[in-house]
Amino acid sequence: MPLRTDPLLPGEYYHIYNRGINSTITFRESRNYFFFLRKIKEILLPNAAEIITYMLMPTHYHLLIQIKDETFSSAMGRLINSYTKAVNREWRRTGPLFEGRFKAKHVDTDEYVLELSRYIHLNPAAANLVAHPDEWCYSSYTTIIGNKDGILPVSDLISSYFINTDPKIGYQQFVEDSLERKYSNISHLLFD
């Protein structure tokens, strides 16, 4: 695979994501999701990255992270290789699972952090997998809004943006207001 043209810099925030080859399923069962999350905890944390938000979907994943040191790319490669080998054994398949190297977009403003976190957490509702983002258990959303502890520790960065209110309630309103607006233009078409 070609090397990255833009370096991933320690101390900076990035949106890390990828999807299954041809958008195929990459997480079939709960144990697949939880295995991937455990591998993130073992391989990326505590040295390579800090998790801000995360979301695992059936065909793809999203991580909003702060890179801690220069080992992130190699750690991410180990994570994906470990998961792919385990899935290939379980599913009796061969070859890569994801579309090439993971994608990385630099997140360089506070507004971008917040909008991206909301986008990440609304993914399962937007895909009609659940009606509400707190119903999806393969996400950092319920941890951030205080409904339950997740497998992965998440940074307090998101909460720090809501200092004039209870951070958990503030973030929940921020996300859910967008969810409500999404459906406002078709509300007349919905059944009561």
- The amino acid at residue 150 is G
Helix (H, G, I), strand (E, B) or coil at 105: strand
Mean pLDDT confidence for 87-111: 95
CATH of 13-183, one of 3.40.50.620, 3.40.50.300, 3.30.70.1290, 3.80.30.20: 3.30.70.1290
Q: pLDDT at position 30, please?
A: 96
Q: pLDDT at position 6, please?
A: 79
- What is the number of other CB atoms lying within 10 angstroms of the CB of residue 95? 7
Domain map (residue ranges) of the chain? 13-183
Nearest to 49, CA basis, from 30, 23, 72:
72
Mean pLDDT confidence for 94-99: 96
Helices 72-91 and 30-39 cross at an angle (nearest 10°) of 150
Answer yes or no: is pLDDT of 135 > 70.
yes
- What is the number of other CB atoms lying within 10 angstroms of the CB of residue 180? 10
pLDDT in tens, 139-157: 999 999 988 887 788 889 9
- The amino acid at residue 76 is M
Q: What is the CA 131 to chain-centroid distance, rounded? A: 18
pLDDT in tens, 38-72: 999 999 998 999 999 999 999 999 999 999 999 99
Distance CA 1, CA 6 (A): 15
- pTM for this entry: 0.90
Q: What share of the chain is helix, strand, coil (3-state, %, to 5)?
A: 45, 15, 40
Phi-psi region of 95 (alpha: psi -120 to 50; beta: other; left: phi over 0): left
Distance CA 82, CA 92 (A): 15
Distance CA 150, CA 13 (A): 21
Q: pLDDT at position 39, please?
A: 97
Task: Supply the mean pLDDT for the chain.
Answer: 90
Q: pLDDT at position 37, please?
A: 97
Q: pLDDT at position 51, please?
A: 96
Q: pLDDT at position 1, please?
A: 52
